[in-house]
Amino acid sequence: MTDRKNNSACKKYLITGFSGFVSRNFIEYLDSRNSETEIMGIDLREPEMRYDLYRKLKINFQRTDLRDREKLCKAVYDFRPDYILHLASFSSVAGSWNNPCNSFQNNVNIFLNLLEVVRSIGSRCRIISVGSSEEYGEVKISDLPLSEDKIPNPTSPFGIARLSQEMMAKLYVEVYGLDIIMTRSFNHIGAGQSEKFAVSSFAKQLVELLKERKSEFIVAGDVTVIRDFIDVRDVVKAYYQLFREGKKGEVYNICSGYGISLQNIIEIMSNKLKLDITIKEDKSLRRPKDNPVIIGSNRKIKSDIHWNNEISLEESLTDVLNYNLIKNEYSAKGKITII
């Protein structure tokens, strides 16, 4: 494998979940590094991005089901990556309650297939196994902020699947010597995120309210829960630095270290749009069991790789709103000034 410290050499990244939100931001970060990079993207669906526009990146895409070990093995063997960023997942916590089997199969099983392929062909690539803050489960206020040595106790099918994936990664490090780094990545936000996630859903509803003026309320689940939100651009920067400086077999929180309620998120975005709104609770959006407060500590990742989250929550929310305003052609129609 190419020496990770030799930054002048062309690096080869294999990215699963290539067509998703985080992958797009990771590719943009790689492009900003202005170094020759080769990428193999793997996903079940075609990407919407124009990846041929990235001048410094040589990108190829392959439609592959990660459950198809033979096809996956050929892709990894032929490409011979230096790094694998494993983003492919069933990423909805709420959705995992509706289909726990699907959540488990599309988190744990596909990851196990990937590990077996890497092990069987003798690849020395470095793998980042992306996990979730949901692994911590319900915690005491005295436990906050959550550090990596806090014993996980997940309270959702998604959280259990993510913890199982992490445990499998640790096993393959200890028994087979694979070079794997694990993350517990907290709530991402950013422009272009799917509307199935809370902040993007709120932004979409607020912009539609601004456009239609048919009602003065938005629909949400439990808005009292407190979460640690971090901009996706800071997240992908952490992944990049972990590839180069992270410690094999270690688990890293990727978080802001700051908690805020969903209600306060809605209030901040409403104020930006100068809207006076009411939150209408939809009990069907409540989860059967939820964690009232999740706030992480980022002390370990800051110490080990000197990473720092640089994008404020205020800037992230502004960008999310701007994305939805532009998507609804407000700038073109002159109906509102982009924030």
pLDDT in tens, 224-270: 999 999 999 999 999 999 999 999 999 999 999 999 999 999 999 99
Does one domain contain both 277 and 165? Answer: no
pTM, full prediction = 0.92
> Roughly what angle, to the nearest 10 degrees, separates helices 69-79 and 110-121?
50
Count of domains for the chain: 2
Mean pLDDT of 139-158: 94
Instruction: Give the per-residue pLDDT at 331.
Output: 47
pLDDT digits (tens, 9 = 90+) for 275-332: 888 888 887 777 777 789 999 999 999 999 999 999 999 999 999 999 999 887 654 4
Does one domain contain both 117 and 82? Answer: yes
Instruction: Give the per-residue pLDDT at 31.
Output: 93
Tell me, letter by letter, the H, E, C secondary structure of 240-287: HHHHHHCCCCCEEEECCCCCEEHHHHHHHHHHHCCCCCEEEECHHHCC
The better pLDDT of the pair 238, 333 is held by 238
pLDDT digits (tens, 9 = 90+) for 190-212: 999 999 899 999 999 999 888 87
Q: Which CATH number goes with the domain that contains 124? A: 3.40.50.720
Instruction: Give the per-residue pLDDT at 35.
Output: 82
Residue 1 within a domain: no
pLDDT of residue 6 exceeding 60, the answer is no
Range of the domain at 80: 11-189+230-254
Residue 302 within a domain: no
Tokens of 209: 């309210």
pLDDT digits (tens, 9 = 90+) for 7-31: 457 899 999 999 999 999 999 999 9
Residue 304 within a domain: no
pLDDT of residue 109 exceeding 50, the answer is yes
Tokens of 339: 């924030």
Does one domain contain both 78 and 209? Answer: no
Mean pLDDT of 87-95: 74
Label the pairing between strands 217-220 and 187-189.
Answer: unpaired
Nearest partner of 197 among 22, 18, 19, judged by Cα: 22
Does one domain contain both 120 and 161? Answer: yes
Does one domain contain both 111 and 209? Answer: no
